[in-house]
Amino acid sequence: MSEGKKAIGSQLDFSEPWSIFRVMADFVNGYDSLKDLGPSVTVFGSARTKSDHKYYKAAQKLGYMLAENGFNVITGGSAGIMEAANRGAYSSGRGKSIGLNIELPREQASNDYLDLSLKFDYFFARKVMLVKYSYAYIIFPGGFGTMDELFEALTLVQTRKIFPIGVFLVGTDYYKPLLDFINASMVSEGAIAKEDADLIKLTDDLDEVVSFTKEHILARIQEMEELGLTKLTDYARLKKFHEAHRIKEA
């Protein structure tokens, strides 16, 4: 290729109209790679949490518990809490351990505990994939990125753009001040309704997270039956999961 053509190609790659193809590539890659997943849970949290920290250990334990109960575990694919959850799921060998990473100047390397690793150019495309295939969102302590993902998930559930799923904050010491603000300021000022605040479940009980998520699968199955959606592939997949793991009706 001539130098002139290389220069033109470089300009096209980074011009705004042509960037739409990079966006499309993110979505196509994500949908194509994840469309056949069974029930999954997404774990969010800081990439900076060290392996000897209590939250790292809790995320690793939870990842293992979820996989043992048949769930795939999805994370952002990097270090810290994400690595811990993937590590736990990977060590189980039952559910798949999945990392959806992002190209960043730092903290972008994928961890070593992934059955499937995808890379995204755009945060918004990655966030769609992180939430689309999950039946619970579990948010461990984290920074701005984790807060962004938390409130994105809450907004989608609040507005019923996705089936109302569990949103768990794991780390009562870390997140209690945030919940105090939500209730004392956002609810009291009418910015959100009380039932919106109730979408959040603050806990350190990992068994509760797993149990609620399994119950949620049953609720989803029942809703789809009531709506006459039993011919959908998702219904067949959930029904199979339900029967395989003997989820008990309340």
Angle at 95 between CA 93 and CA 98, to 5 degrees: 100
Largest CA distance in the chain: 69
**Using one digit for the tens of pLDDT, what is the confidence trace for 172-187?**
999 999 999 999 999 9
Residues pairing with 120 in the sheet: 102
User: Which of 32-41, 64-73, 148-157 is least confident?
Assistant: 32-41
b/e code 49-59 from CB counts within 10 Å (16+ = b) = beeebebbebb
DSSP lists the bridge partners of residue 79 as none
- The sheet carrying 97-102 orders its strands as 116-120, 97-102, 72-75, 40-44, 134-139, 166-170, 200-203
- Give tens-digit pLDDT for 81-124: 999 999 999 999 889 999 999 876 665 689 999 999 999 988 88
CB burial of 79-96 (b: ≥16 within 10 Å; e: otherwise) equals bbbbbbbbbbbbebeebb
**pLDDT, tens digit, for every residue of 134-171?**
989 999 999 999 999 999 999 999 998 887 688 999 99
Fold of 3-245: Rossmann fold (3.40.50)
- Give the pLDDT of residue 244: 79
Integer Cα distance of 199 and 216 in angstroms: 13
Q: pLDDT digits over 197-242, tens only?
A: 999 999 999 999 999 888 888 888 888 899 998 998 888 888 888 8
pLDDT value of residue 5: 45
Give the global pTM.
Answer: 0.86
202 bridge partner residues? 169
